[in-house]
Amino acid sequence: MLEILSLIRQDGDPRWCRSVPNWERGPWLETLLGYRRARGNARPRIISSHLPASRRARGNARPRIISSHLPVHLFPRAFFGSKAKV
């Protein structure tokens, strides 16, 4: 699923999917990086040189992709009141 969403996000261009690791493209919500990205305040550890400067400056370009294996009853309550797609 992460590969498909990554391709959609990049308009079908596979270069980004090949060059950026999975944990950077769609971090786990259960990790600190995933939590920060979900809140929108994470700084990427790796800045890919192939991204335009405007996207690098923004850090986490929207839409953000967040992965999780949490059961629904353990998700943060704020998730269900947001515009997130499941």
Dist CA 43 CA 57 (whole Å): 10
Measured over all CA atoms, what is the biggest interatomic distance in the chain, rounded to whole angstroms?
39
Q: Is the CB of residue 65 less than 8 Å from the CB of residue 26?
A: yes
For residue 63, the tally of other CB atoms under 10 A from its CB is 12
Q: Is the CB of residue 28 less than 8 Å from the CB of residue 74?
A: no
Return the active site residues. 69
